[in-house]
Amino acid sequence: MDLPRSFTIRESSHRIHNPLTSQKLAILGEALGPSPGTRILDLACGSGELLCTWARDHGITGTGVDISTAFLAKARARAIELEVAEQVTFTHGDASDHVADDLVDIGSCVGATWIGGGVAGTVDLLRRSLRPGGVMLIGEPYWRKDPPDQATVEGCHAASADDFRALPELLEQFGELGCDVVEMVLADQDGWDRYVAAQWLNTRRWLDANPDDELAEQMRAELTAGPVRHVRYQREYLGWGVFALMNR
């Protein structure tokens, strides 16, 4: 059980596996202001940057769950680097059915709502681990502008325009699920650039080092098409944000 190798090639240098910059991740932590000892469950935690930096900056404790052995190794190394290894733990597993043994103060799924089959299922999954009065964090794309055609939809890694909502409709969906939106931090185009452009350099360096690998043809095709697709479609049409929710 692991991520396809192409994912770890593209994002081998990433600490944050979404378009939220480290500065905006810190802003989110400052906005929520978790007190020391706050317990967090981070599903699909990637390389653990949220847990590790918030443990350092706010004294939280927590558990991250992810399917990627490569990213979890980075998360554990990051915890040691930031001297928070006694505060956070990382578990290899399928986050789609993970429920905390003890209820947590913050339940997070930042950019991987496919683990619950979408926003509604992910909110339901996080609720199962959340104490009364706790906060859920959902990271999710939204349309910045209506996609004019199917090429734009597919250029934003969607199958249908219905895969994402406009920002007002996304916030309305949270309300329909019985949640109050109590905070949000939105990525910007620079955040998209930092996330996506770093993948191009990772891919090129990997191709130079592994020209005969079985994935080389696929990764070369991605690198050839990726920069233009990003600036033509994703950068212009797709937004992304982290939304803090509380049950009504």
Task: Give the pLDDT confidence score for residue 84 in this predicted structure.
Answer: 98
Number of compact structural domains in the chain: 1
The reported pLDDT for the residue numbered 1 is 80
Give the phi and the psi of residue 9 in degrees, each rounded to 5. Answer: -70, -50
pLDDT of residue 183: 98
Sequence-separated (6 or more) residues with CB below 8 Å from residue 186: 239, 240, 241
Domain that holds residue 23: 5-247
Q: Which regions in the chain score pLDDT beneath 50?
A: none
pLDDT on residue 188: 97
26, exposed or middle or buried, with CB in 10 Å at 0-12, 13-18, 19+?
middle
User: Residue 136's domain is classified under what CATH number?
Assistant: 3.40.50.150
Tokens 């098409």 sit on residue: 225
Query: What is the reported pLDDT for 153?
Result: 98
pLDDT on residue 245: 98
Supply the pLDDT for residue 115. 96
Query: Pairing relation of β-strands 130-143 and 238-247?
Result: antiparallel
